[in-house]
Amino acid sequence: MALILFELLPEVYENLDGKTAGLCIALGLVTQMVLEGISKGAEHGHVHGKSGGKFPWLVFFGLGLHAFLEGIPLQHHSSYMLGIILHKIPVALILGAYLLRSGLSNGAIWGFMGGFAVMTPLGGFLGQQVILHEIYPYLSAFVLGILLHVSTIILFESSDGHGFNLRKLGAILFGFLLAFLL
């Protein structure tokens, strides 16, 4: 969240007018809501629902698209990369659990996990292409909307009862301070 506030958001509003930035961010938020419905919430570390023993095509598609879009700003923000790496660990574990319950062979599971693993770097590759230079600010604002949705969900759903937690507030404030100072 601090990375969003101190790096990504100022960059978006520096490169786009306010209404355009707001529209692109809103589109990212709405897109993430749709992706969350498809992936059952796995992109923020837990799943709403069960796989039922079948291959989770929609979950895989939603997570893959989410990972690809998250990769777009990678080339422009080195500190963003650490956040993405840490974020992908629980997502990969959730996807792996889904795949193990799907009844697929180990080779197929490794293939799908490998496919998921390359999605964020592919997004990063797309984000650095010269041909996209003119639309990069719009893509960045769109991805910012996705990140805002995921980060707020993580903040508010990470405690029992999804309620107020003084320890969580302290950790958030410490994280903001640390990000601001760095």
Supply the pLDDT for residue 24. Answer: 96
Whether the model clears a pTM of 0.75, i.e. scores above it, the answer is no
Give tens-digit pLDDT for 115-170.
Answer: 999 999 998 888 887 777 788 889 889 989 988 888 887 776 655 555 567 777 88
Supply the pLDDT for residue 113. Answer: 93
Q: Give 35's pLDDT tier (boundaries 50, 70, 90).
A: confident
Supply the pLDDT for residue 41. Answer: 61
Which tokens go with 163?
A: 């309620």
CB of 118 closer than 8 Å to CB of 92: no
Give dist(CA 56, CA 62) in Å, integer.
Answer: 10
Which tokens go with 150?
A: 């995921």
Supply the pLDDT for residue 18. Answer: 93
Give tens-digit pLDDT for 40-74.
Answer: 665 555 454 554 555 667 778 888 888 898 888 87
Across the range 98-120, mean pLDDT stands at: 89
Supply the pLDDT for residue 111. Answer: 93
Sign of CA dihedral 15, 129, 92, 103: positive
Give dist(CA 170, CA 99) in Å, integer.
Answer: 36
**What's the number of CA atoms in the CB half-sphere (13 Å) around residue 59?**
27
Supply the pLDDT for residue 65. Answer: 86
